[in-house]
Structure 1
Amino acid sequence: MSAPRKRRRGEDSDTRDQLIEATAELMLEEGYAGATTRRVAAKVGVNPALVYYYFPSLDDLFLAVFRKGAEANLERQRKALASENPMRALWETATDARGTALLMEFMALANHRKEIRTEIAAYAERYRESQLTALTVILRARGFDIDALSPAMMSVAISSLGATLVNESSLGITLGHRELAEFAEDFVRLFEGKPWTRAMLPPRPGVEDPA
């Protein structure tokens, strides 16, 4: 009788990644309660015992999913802030439906898992600190008064408004969304050197309002 074949390191990494991705998909499709060990294993096509080989508990699996998504979001934000049109890229990141939906599931899960709550708070601080530093540079470079238009306020506003649009849309709520999207578009235009087209806020100094 031959000895069991040892798993290769590459196979371990691939299987682990598949389990993480399957968990994320189940959370998006059915909520975090639907991401059980058995269902994750079935989605990948492996024995449930193999899930525990990689993740001793379901919380360990959830944390792995969150951390992978968090690192991806931080990298996406770094690229957005370094892009030619950082404000537009930030708004597109904030209104990403998949990422926002998954974060909402983790926030719901955090009500029952202290470790998840701690992880979300630590990630949010890293994300916002990075954004705040970059926004300060971006606003100053484009001639905005950061005392009147606080980078911290901008950071919270971008994240909050983006999440609101995505979450309400998923529920079928759309009242006011068009107006907010138009306002956001006009604000983004200022950072692209284009004229302000609405009268909700004064234009940046040096940019004429065609109205």
Structure 2
Amino acid sequence: MPAPSKRAVAAGETRRVLMEATAQIMLEEGYAAATSRRVAARAGVKAPLLHYHFPSMDDLYLAVFRRGTELNLERLRAALASDQPLQALWEQTFDPRGTRLLLEFMALANHRKEIRAELAAAGERYRDIQVTALTLVMRQHGLDTAAFPPDAMSVLIASIGRTLVLESTLGIAGGHASMLALVERYLRRFEMPPPAPDPRPPADEL
């Protein structure tokens, strides 16, 4: 397979810089501030070059979201394949940057049908992978999946993480430390390795 040309590499780099600039503006000031002029200025390019790569701002928003979705799916698979998948999953869900950006896309989706559809499809895809993996992880750790349905646990984990990030953004901190301590306590309980078997024979066999 031939190596990509310098022009293709440069085009890919320009697209990457534009997407990163868009995400950063959305995080700092909200999606409404991510106009073509603001994004182009942040990326250090002329506005016509932005429109060459992304004919409309919706095209740019979708590219940013899709790129983030693929990165998150890679992180999800890595988290669920780790030695402490529940801990890794919680840390990913509680990631302030990713959660804030998702909330901006959710706000944007209220005004853009195409982005709303993309957001819903990505969310269902992400949850399907998460629930399948959670089912396996919970069974391996002896958790009762009837009492704690994996799909409900997936929603619970996401809800707690997003609520804490959203409230922190607003300056609300009441109960956060207690909730974090509660989550960490249960994570340690469920993912604590079982004690090693005692090599000594039982007392009645001595």
How far residue 191 of structure 1 moved from its aligned partner, in angstroms, is: 2.5
Cα 1:134–1:75 shift into 2, 3 Å: same
Q: Deviations over 1:163-193 (max 9, x none)?
A: 1111101111011111111110011112322
For 1:45, give the aligned amino acid: G
Query: Displacement of 1:7 after TM fit?
Result: 7.0
The residue that corresponds to 1:172 in the other structure is 171
Query: Structure 2 counterpart of 1:22, which letter?
Result: A
Q: Which has the higher helix share?
A: 2
Give me the TM-score of the superposition, normalised by structure 2. 0.90
SS of alignment partner, residue 8 of structure 1: helix
For CA contacts below 8 A with separation 6 or more, give which structure has more relative contact order. 2
Overall identity of the aligned pairs, in % = 58
Distance 2:181 2:144 in 1: 23
Task: Measure the CA separation in 1 of the matches of 2:53 and 2:111.
Answer: 23
CA distance in 2, matches of 1:188, 1:12: 44
Q: Give runs of ≥4 in structure 1 deviating > 6 Å.
A: none
Name the counterpart of 2:28: 29
SS in 2 for 1:191: helix
Are the aligned partners of 1:85 and 1:191 in contact in 2 as well (CA < 8 Å)?
no
Give the TM-score, by structure 1 length: 0.88
Cα distance in 2 for residues equivalent to 1:122 and 1:56: 23
Task: Write the mapping of 1:56-75 to structure 2, written as runs, cut at 5 A.
Answer: 56-75=55-74
Partner SS state of residue 114, structure 2: helix
Q: Which amino acid in the other structure matches residue 48 of structure 2?
A: A
Does structure 1 retain, via aligned residues, the 8 Å contact 2:141–2:191? Answer: no
8 Å contact kept, 2:21–2:42:
yes
Q: Which segments of 5 or more consecutive residues in structure 1 lack a partner in the other structure?
A: 1-5, 196-211
Q: Which residue type is aligned with residue 113 of structure 1?
A: R
The residue type paired with residue 133 of structure 2 is: A
SS of the residue corresponding to residue 192 of structure 2 reads coil
- Report the AA paired with residue 99 of structure 2: T
- Aligned-residue RMSD, C-alpha: 1.4
Preserved contact between residue 18 and residue 50 of structure 2 (Cα < 8 Å): yes
